[in-house]
Structure 1
Amino acid sequence: MNAIAFVNIHGQAVDTNKRVPLPKRTSDGPGEFHKGWAVEGVPPGALEEAQALHEQERAVAIRENAKRIPDEWNALTWLQTKAKLKRVRTKAYEVPEAAALCKDMAEKAGWLQVRVRALSKGSA
């Protein structure tokens, strides 16, 4: 059987068993970057939905004489413990002033507990 011999552009024999180390690529991007600011809060209508669900569960527990009947509805307790914060805008803001403006508009639109959260810094 014939062995295949490889040659380079100059006609010199090339060893295909030897691995040539390649230089590491350098990144052109910045060393560190900020991921932006997210505006989060409780959307309008979420409080009413949670209250209706709680009242329904309480009525069922009372009707069936359950061992544990949920307490009366307390909006403050729900906001502090169970409320899920959702982003007002899914994409993060690059400028903190834009996030602050979005927070103001969200509060005027009926969002509750709106806050601006700085996302963590990353490294390239």
Structure 2
Amino acid sequence: MTNRELKGEVAGTRYMLKGALWKFTLLPGLLELQLAEQLLQHGVEVTLWPNVDRSDLRVKHGGMDLDIDAKVWISPRALGHHLESVRASTLRWIVIPDYQQAHVGWLQSVCPPGLQVFTQSQCIKELTKRAHPF
């Protein structure tokens, strides 16, 4: 799995998700599954949708639990406004697609304490480094 653009298919007798379901379940779901697969390949312990989707992934490394939420929003500004209102009770990373890398700095600047923003590639790199520090 990669974060490459998905090619469409002729629908034929297949069904299609309505816009909101496609936008809020399929796209983030693909990013969640890609993150889990990549982290598992690097030997990082991952649980998808822990505690009935309290977060998208829970990662255990170095005796610490980290919650990760995958966010595939068309509007980085709308995501920023959403992040401003999030109250993290534990360390939480927000992971966005690599193609939105230009927005990481601004999104990070509006996050409350306890939240950090990474692209998919940055997340994998950082967690791999932390899981295997030497």
**By percentage of residues, which structure has more helix?**
2
Superposition TM-score, scaled by structure 2 size? 0.22
- Which structure: larger Rg? 1
Higher RCO (C-alpha 8 Å, min separation 6): 1
